[in-house]
Structure 1
Amino acid sequence: MKNETIKPETIKTETAKKVNTVKKPETTKAKPAPKAKPETVKQETIINPFTRALMVRKELAPVEQHKQIEHALHALSDNVVTAAKKVMTQTDFDAVANMLQNSDKKAHSGYMQVKSIVKLADIVRALAQGIRPTSNNLCVAISALLHNGNHANIKELIVAQSRAARETDMMNVRSDYQARSATYTIGTASSQTGQVRDVMRVLDFATVNKGKRNDDLILNEYGLKVLGAVFGK
C-alpha cells in the first residue's frame, strides 16, 4: 500500500481586502434661486383732497343735501384742482378740505355750510379756467369788494346784492348783473353774503374782522391778485 502523501490542501484564505470605498459626495448642482418677482406696487387712484372730504361730508349729511354735495364733487374734479393749484398758490387745499368734511358746527371753528361749499366749488373751478364764477351774487360781492377799495362790511355787501343797491352809490358795482340780481331781497342777500364771507376766508383771499353786528371783509394782496386777474381790477 502506497503511502500517499497528502498534499496539504491549499486553503484559500480569502483575505477580504476590504477596500475602503469612500463614496464621493454627490455633487448636486445647486438650482439657481428663482428670480424675485418685482413687487407690484398697487397704484391707488389719487383722489384730490376736496373729493375725499366731500365724500365724507356726504355720508354725514342728511339726504336733502346730497344733491348739492354731488354738485360740488362734480365741480372740483382732479383736473380742476390741479389747474387751480397753479393759480391759487397760497391756498392750503388740504386745510380747506379738512374744513369741508366737518359737519359738526360745534366741533370745528372752520365749519362751512353746504351752500357755502357749492360756492367755493364754483369759484375754484372758475379761477382754474380763468373765468368768472357762475354764481351771480358771488360775482356781485367780489366786484363790490374790488370797487370799494378792496374792503366792505357785510351790510354793504348785502346792499350790493339786493334791490337796495338802486338807492346807493354801489349801484354801478352790479350793473352787469342787474337783470339777474335785481329781485334779491334783503333776506336772500344776507344769507348769500354770509356764504361769500366764508368762501373768501377759507380760501385765504380775505381777512374777516368780526364785529358785534357787522363784520368787515378785507381783501389781502393774494386775494386781490387772484381775483383781480379775473375781474379786471
Structure 2
Amino acid sequence: MRRKCLIVALAAITLLGTISGCGKKESKEAIKVSEDNPITTECENYFAKANHISVSVVKRTETNDLDGNSSMTYEKYVTSDINLKDETDSTFDLTEALASGELIEDKIKELSFKEVFGFDYKGKSADGIFNGLMESNGMDTNLKDVTFDDETYDANGRKLYVLNGESSVLKSLLKDTKYDELKSSKVYYQTMKTEAGVEIPENVTAEVEYRIGDVTYKKTVYIEITIYSGEEE
C-alpha cells in the first residue's frame, strides 16, 4: 500500500511538472563548463551508487486550435519504484487511469517491470536501466553528444541539452502523418543538481510539433528517473 501511495504521489508530481521544468536560474557563466559535456565522471558514479530509484515513461499528444480549444491524451503512462539492492519493484500502468484526464486510482494496474517496460532491470545499475528505457523507446543513448539550448536557458533558466543526430523515436512519432508544417522535432534532456552538487540528467524528452490545417499537434515521449541514493527504504 505504501508503494502504491508513493507511485500515485509521483504521478501527480510528474503530471504537474512534465516537460515544464522549474528551479532557480544560475548565471550563464556558472554552467559554462558543463555546456558541452554535462555527463561527468561524478555523474556516472552517482548513478552507479544508486540503490533506490523510480522511473516513468509517458507518451502523450496535445492539440490546440485557433479558437483556443485544447486537449491532451495519454497513449502510455507507466511508472516503477525499484529497490536495486534487493531487486524488488512496484510497477504500475496508469494509462487507463488517466483516460478521463484525471487520475482515477481504482483503474491503476500493477504489473511486472518487464511487462510494462519490455526488459528486465535485475542485474542493471540505475544507468543501465535509464539507457534501457531510452533504447526501448527509440532514443539515442549517447548523452554526451549534445548541444546546449541557449535560447531556452535565456528564456526561463531550464538547462536543456539537445541530442545531436537522428533518433528513431522522432520518425515513429511522425509515422504516416501528413502535416502542413513541421514546427519542431528534437530529443533533449534536462539536468538538475543533487544536494552534493553533482549535475545529473533527470529526464529525456522526444518531441515533435506539427500543424494540420488550423490545429497544432505536439507528440511527446518523456522518460524520467529519480534517484534516492542514501535514503532509507
TM-score (norm 1): 0.23
Bigger proportion of residues as strand: 2
Bigger proportion of residues as helix: 1
**Which one has a bigger Cα radius of gyration?**
1
TM-score (norm 2): 0.23
Considering Cα pairs closer than 8 Å and 6+ residues apart, tell me whether 1 or 2 has the greater RCO. 2
